[in-house]
Amino acid sequence: MILLRICLILALSGATSAPDVRAASRPPESDNVVTPGHSGGLSGMIRHGNHVHEAGSASWCGTDFDSPEARAILAQIKAERKAGLRRPLNKNRIPPDIGDRQSFNVSERSPNGDQTWIPMEFELVDTTALYHLWVEVAELSDGIIGQSQVNSLRTSILTGTPSRSIDPNRGFFANNNTIFGMPPDIDGDGIVDILIYDIGTPSVAGYVSGADQLVNQPDGQGNQRDILYLDSRFAASSPQTLNTVAAHEYAHLINFSYEYYITFLSEGMAEFASVMNGYYGRAITYISSVSEVSLPLFTWESPPNTADTKDYERGNLFVSYIGQQLGPAVVGEIMSDPGPKSVGGLNAVLSRHGSSLGDVLVDFHTANLLNDRSIDPAFGYAAPEYAGLRAFLTSSPIDGEIATSENENGFSLDFSASVNAGSVHYLRMTKVADVSFMYDTPDPTGLFYSEKILRNRARLVLEHADGSFSIREVTPRSTPVQVDGQYDTITFVLSHSNPFIVAGDRVTILAEWTPLSQVTDSEYLDEFPSVPTLASVWPNPFSGSARVMVDMDRSSQVRIHLYDLLGRHRATLHDGLLPAGRSELTLEAEDLESGTYIVLLQHDGASTSRTVTLVR
């Protein structure tokens, strides 16, 4: 039978330069990250007995939720649990002692990709109330695994995780249990068996098996236990990498307590388990490839036995973004929620926390474009290893100073592009003023227009001459949108809001504008902007108080808040009506610490921001 395996892939090799690829930055070397060439890392070849592994090739996971065989296993697990079947606990079984040996079935992949079970002898090297740690006898005999590796894994499981963890004073078992829940306990003993052995497939770092969760399983297939399978080369060469693998796989094991999302989300949640336990996230390279960014978001195409990690990167970044914005508990709720494992179920969880899948997606795509939390806490990443992430424009930018032939004025755009399910298209115009445009999703029949509006949305990122940004939300419509003012750039973030739709939608932008060079100062002299604008914050830096100036050409309802760079709300400067003209608000430093803050003005679905620094 085909074995269902859920494994961790590790992108340990650097990004390859290409015309449309910008290498993602990596964090400084530390005891929490393994980089190629790092002392004690996985550079070069690793020899285990008669096996030789390519160190940088541990990149593939044989996860299979979609094949008929895998679906049959999942369906059988569900049916057995619904029927109340459970492997009876052998009450006469004597708990093992250190040094005891036992045979377990492990998987082996043939050169043509077929998977079979083979028996292998293991020796117990550590035992606790939560797990039994077994090492392949041959690996012990060869000295591949020693007490230092055993102690390191024990510490990461039980005692503590790196300082960035959600709780550094606890191991990843406790942290994962808090966020995701408990593992299935198929055999009723409350123990997780951890098997460390030479998996033998260079690209596989670890896995868990659905076959282990079946009660009615033929002899010699699976073990009818809760088991983590880990590869000994990581235990031998890089304990911290092994900890990352184990935290990931333990999340997969917990996932067997529930029904499953598609591979993208299941792997994304397991990737997040490593991140939330304080281990650095994998290098993200897909975001610098136009073709990869344009794929349907929930794509899972990584073929077996290759070093292609793009799908894991995509899942890692998306789920980690949810965890950053809404908190780790929301990611755990996505895994454990009893609702439908579909777009509706995912959206229901997000909605319970004041968001939605559409909101998360447009914010996620904006964060990937800007990666600047000073503009808005939702528009960037806090983790230092993601500091250099920025998506390329999907289309070449439109120079607003270059005339086109579409109309007699010569400055217009007739743009059309397909946006795949859950994906994005970035379109930028430069040096433009007073832009009028229509954003639409063609619907020749007129029958599905309202549905397309629900699953498509655009965000305008408006960059002003002084370097400040403002944001405007747009949904498909058959009437023009007017954007008055002068802009260095206007970037359309064209987001598709439903990753579960097979095909995306074709969107169109019909725009006209005035080139920035043709706008005379007299046209704007003594005029206030048509939308509320943060004119200035002065002095900046400030020590005691600062004046916040707001300009508008008509009285309007506005909300002005102060946030710190962690996205925490620190003060409300105004929430209500402001008169036309210039209004002056006072920002007091009384309850604030020294540092940089974001003044965020919100009005009618749009926002603008400025940064201000407090120096005491």
**Quick one: DSSP state of residue 599?**
E
Angle between helices 263-276 and 172-180 (to 10 degrees): 130
CB within 8 Å of 241: residues ≥ 6 apart: 10, 34, 41, 42, 205, 234
Non-local CB neighbours of 428 within 8 Å, separated by 6+ positions: 393, 395, 397, 398, 489, 490, 491, 492
∠ CA 329-5-1, nearest 5°, is 145
> Given pLDDT bands bounded at 50, 70 and 90, which one contains residue 39?
very low
Could you name the CATH architecture of 398-524?
Answer: Sandwich (2.60)
Question: How many helices and strands, by DSSP H and E, does the chain display?
Answer: 14, 23
Domain boundaries, the chain: 5-386, 398-524, 533-614
**Do 131 and 157 meet the contact criterion of CB atoms below 8 Å apart?**
yes
Q: pLDDT tier at 219 (50, 70, 90 boundaries)?
A: confident
The pLDDT of residue 7 is: 44
Averaged pLDDT, 215-219 = 82
pLDDT grade, residue 445 (50/70/90)? low
pLDDT surpassing 90 at residue 363: yes
pLDDT of residue 326: 97
Judge whether 73 and 256 are in contact, CB under 8 Å: no
Q: Is the pLDDT assigned to residue 475 strictly greater than 90?
A: no
Q: Are 533 and 550 in contact (CB under 8 A)?
A: yes
pLDDT confidence bin for 442, thresholds 50/70/90:
confident
- Asked if residue 239 lies in contact with residue 343, where contact means CB atoms within 8 angstroms, the answer is no
- The conformation of residue 412, written as its DSSP 8-state character, comes to E
User: For residue 611, what are the β-bridge partners?
Assistant: 598
Strand partners, 120: 104
Domains 398-524 and 533-614 share a fold: no
- In this structure, what token pair is assigned to residue 263? 């591979």
Query: Under a CB-based contact definition with an 8 Å cutoff, are residues 186 and 224 in contact?
Result: yes
Average model confidence (pLDDT) across the chain: 81
Q: Give 350's pLDDT tier (boundaries 50, 70, 90).
A: very high
In angstroms, rounded to a whole number, what is the distance separating the alpha carbons of residues 452 and 505?
Answer: 8
pLDDT score of 574? 93
Tokens 């620094």 belong to: 613
pLDDT at 14 (0 to 100): 32
For position 161, what pLDDT does the model report? 96
Q: Which of 409, 427, 585, 562 is nearest to 491 (CA)?
A: 427
Asked if 10 contacts 245 with a C-beta cutoff of 8 angstroms, the reply is yes
Which has more confidence, 407 or 216? 216
- pLDDT score, position 19: 30
Q: What is the pLDDT of residue 47?
A: 29
pLDDT above 50 for 302: yes
Of 121 and 84, more confident: 121
Mean pLDDT of 214-224: 85
| C-alpha closest to that of 596 among 321, 372, 369 | 372
DSSP for 423-478?
-EEEEEEEEEEEEEEEEE---TTSSSHHHHHHHEEEEEEEEPTTS-EEEEEE---S
Is pLDDT above 70 for 12? no
Indicate whether 446 pLDDT > 80: no
Cα gap 116→85, rounded to integer Å: 25
Report which of 600, 612, 605 is spatially closest to residue 376, judged by C-alpha positions.
600
pLDDT beyond 70 at 486: yes
Average confidence (pLDDT) over 14-35: 30
Write the pLDDT tens digit of every residue in 97-126: 999 999 999 988 666 656 789 999 999 999
Task: State pLDDT tens for residues 42-74.
Answer: 222 222 333 333 333 344 454 456 666 667 777
Would you say the C-alpha torsion 385, 40, 304, 72 has a positive or negative sign?
A: negative
Partner residues linked to 109 by β-bridges: 115
Reply yes or no on whether the pLDDT at 81 is more than 80: no
At 411 the pLDDT is 85
pLDDT at 169: 97
pLDDT of residue 87: 67
Share of the chain above pLDDT 70, in %: 80
Phi and psi (nearest 5°) for 583?
-110, 145
Name the nearest CA neighbour of 117 among 185, 186, 214: 214
Calpha distance 273→382 (Å, rounded): 17
Tell me what pLDDT residue 405 has: 60
User: How much is the pLDDT for 507?
Assistant: 92
407 DSSP assignment: S
The DSSP bridge pattern shows strands 115-127 and 131-136 to be: antiparallel
CATH 1.10.3720.10 applies to domain 533-614: no
Distance (Å) of CA 538 to CA 465, 562, 597: 18, 15, 13
By three-state DSSP, how is residue 500 classified?
coil
Calpha distance 345→334 (Å, rounded) = 8
* More confident position, 375 or 235: 375
Q: Helices in 30-85 by DSSP H: which ranges? A: 68-82
- What pLDDT score was predicted for residue 109? 67
Highest mean pLDDT pick, 42-56, 201-215, 490-504, 594-608: 594-608
Q: Write the DSSP symbol of residue 92.
A: T
Q: So what's the pLDDT on residue 307? A: 54
**pLDDT of the residue at 49:** 34
Supply the pLDDT for residue 452.
64
Q: What pLDDT is recorded for position 443?
A: 66
pLDDT tens digit string along 544-577? Answer: 899 999 988 766 788 999 999 999 999 999 988 7
Residue 40, pLDDT above cutoff 60: no
pLDDT, greater one: 503 or 462: 462
Q: How high is the pLDDT of residue 38? A: 24
Most confident region among 366-375, 466-475, 517-526 by mean pLDDT: 366-375
Q: Which of 142-146, 187-191, 374-378 has the highest mean pLDDT?
A: 374-378
pTM: 0.75
φ and ψ of 224, to 5 deg: 55, 45
CA distance 535 to 584: 10
- Judged against a pLDDT cut of 80, whether residue 209 lies above it is answered with yes
Rg of the Cα trace of the chain?
Answer: 27
Q: Phi and psi for 575 in degrees, rounded to 5?
A: -150, 90
